[in-house]
Structure 1
Amino acid sequence: MSSRRYLRLGAVLKGAGGPGDHGVWKDASVPGDASVNLEYYAHQARLAEAAKFDLIFIVDSHFITPDSPPHYLNRFEPFTILSALAALTKNIGLVGTITTSFEDPFLVARRFASLDLISGGRAGWNVVTTGDEGTARLFGLEQHYDYDDRYGRALEHVRLVQQLWNSYEDDAFPRDRATGQFLDRSKLHEVHHRGTHFTLDGALNVQRSAQGQPVIFQAGDSEFGRDLGGAVGEGIFTHAANLESGRAFRTDLRARAERFGRNPDEVLVMPGMEIVVGDSDADARDRETANHQQDADFDKDLGQFGRSFGWHDFTQYDLDAPFPDLQDLGDRSFKTRADKIRAVAKEENLTLREVVTRFTAPKRSPFVGSPETVADTVQEWFEGGAFDGLNVHYRTHEQFSRFTDEVLPILRERGVVRSEYSGSTLRENLGLPFIPHQRPASSLVEQTA
């Protein structure tokens, strides 16, 4: 591992447009079927790899309504597209979102272990607890888990998956034709787990990879989410409105990791940021405004606004009446955001129209400007302790190319971004250590954050 600190880079692949940029599909340069178009994904992945990005990131969720963003309505599930991209790339990391709320630990362990082998040690798991209440019904439940259960399941789930990834020692398969020994039986270890949420006896039938285990990423800004990130996250996906809030978040996550007995330098905070590059600062802001105008649709915003409240239908209310009393609606969905919306509406005595406009209005990105301006801002935030890397959001190939061709050379010249990949695995490229084998405990007790 190099002691030098470099900016880490992720590219967020979101096809036809997700929350906040649901007008992306209207751009003539973006295929209407981008979210289910392998060639489109492959092209983006190759662009990112040519620019020496550390990873590509596939976001995911299950539940939809007709008001869901275009990318959510019709998209690949992560393992399928990442496995396809593994065969079409050589160096770039492959990170996908998988929920701990409804996915089985053994199957998650097996699929990520397989992706890690297919890619030569480039897999990463973005751990989430599902916020969409309707997802529960897709999996045969009448009610979604509450916050305590969701995060309790998440920690136990991740710990169990990590135990399963230790089923085999690194040299468990001699494959010695002369002696006829395929497996060294002493190096296969079963997991025996009795926890609050999961029970399991047995071993994973996939060997360890070149990086030991896939990299664990995590996204969540609530107290529960931050504790989970501090406990297990090696990469943290988040958002930062400004340098100060970014620095405060990173400082908090590093402190939590240390309280859990971890090395805080092995926790990389990587907020998602929209980057727009123009010929000048004014030109870039004009481009950003045009993007926002392309997304402008109050009816769409009103429909998607209900997601934080379990996809509650807000069209039934008078838009110019006070924001409705929703009581505990949203407590089993995106509770942190729902609570914030309720609090602001009450404190400022806002109407429903004002609340929807406030919370769906496009935000001006700090990373908009000429190549020099964007490079200066990225460097200031990075050296100012606001993040360890960026998850780059972009709308078109043209915008991504302007970042890679015009901004990154400036950052490389300044020593902020490395010029070549550091190794062949995601861990090596992120500056994270190889995970050595640890024999699974004979009885795993649930650990809580």
Structure 2
Amino acid sequence: MTSIADLQVAHEVRSGVHWGVAHGLPTVFLRRAADRGDLQARLIRVGSRGSDEVFDLVEEIRTHGPVYRSRIGFVTTSHAAVRHVLTSDDFRTGLPTSSGTLGRVARWSAPTTLHPVEPPSLLVTEPPDHTRYRRLVTRVFTMRAVERLRERTEEIAADLLDALEPRATGVADLVETYCAVLPVTVIAEILGVPEAERGQVLEFGSAAAPSLDLGLGFRRYRSVTRALAQFDAWLGQHLERLRRTPGDDLLSELVAARDDGKGLDESELKATAGLVLAAGFETTVNLLGNGIALLHDHPAERARVVADPSLWTNVVEEALRLDPPVLLTGRMTVRDTELAGERVPARSMVTAILGGANRDPEVFADPLRFDVARANAREHISFSAGRHHCLGAQLARMEGEVGLRAIWERFPDLRLEPGARRRETRILRGFETLPVTLRP
């Protein structure tokens, strides 16, 4: 009879094996490639430090033309090429599945809990499954539905700023007290999460954010895997609670929803609900923090918005363009194809640098400048494109506009203090901490 101790040992062995195959070996490869000057490998390693050097490397990659060939695959910073990668049927989400020994070992040792880049997550599924999942959740994120949430979002922002008033002359961390709490409160209300459990959901999301990255250290891998397992367990309990006592919220609708007579099974429901919940606040946390920092660092642009408040909508677009919440994404070619005149073989990995496309001088004049009145700021690709265009784009835009406007109107002399720290994530880009004095 197998004991609990034996099962624990087996779990630890599988966990160590999976880390070695999925992260340990890639880390060794990336280190060696970076040492030999490979720009994509250097970008991945610099990104893991949360450094602003990442944009210097993006511009260095751009000097090699619209498509750069690395030891890992192909990389593009071109606006046109990135859009092509995201919209063409020649490209699919996901990683090449190895049929060799490493592939079999990776599949054997992989955790069985939900993961944002494993099926049936919307991030990595394709039609017809992707179409079915997306159709079931799209209605809550329409522009009309989002505008109905604006007044409630303004109330939440005002309440949070009221709570900050007593600390206005001291130093406060805006990520902890505002940028994270505003979007998690909104999405939690949309998804029927009890108020007492929202802090827990926020902790799950923050701990699991690096799960999108390649080359995690073993300690980080363990903490991410633990957070995903806890999130998986919490989701199961939450969904069961909604089955017993459904409410007037999206998850209650998803539990009962049918598309052509077919509902989501348990794994599909968890994956879809988990992604909507996490993505519903993780990227908006970054948008708010990045936007606050940009406005602080560009007082002349901030003065333009004060003089013309109609610019607030465009402020959000320009912040998304210049410092996007998601730096890059990846696709795999399903057949031999061409990208910006470059031949790309089937089963090749192509990295689309959203932050590079958003700074393409072929599309944006003086692209490194923060310009709150930029006429074509909305042409950024920060929400991806094609069938994987971000479901919550309208919600994020509304929350960004409400959140940025509310804090700068309440605290127009807000001052960033030393100690701001970027998140050590390669794909998501935002602040881990953003210390400020609200009334210097």
TM-score (norm 1): 0.25
More helix by share: 2
TM-score (norm 2): 0.25
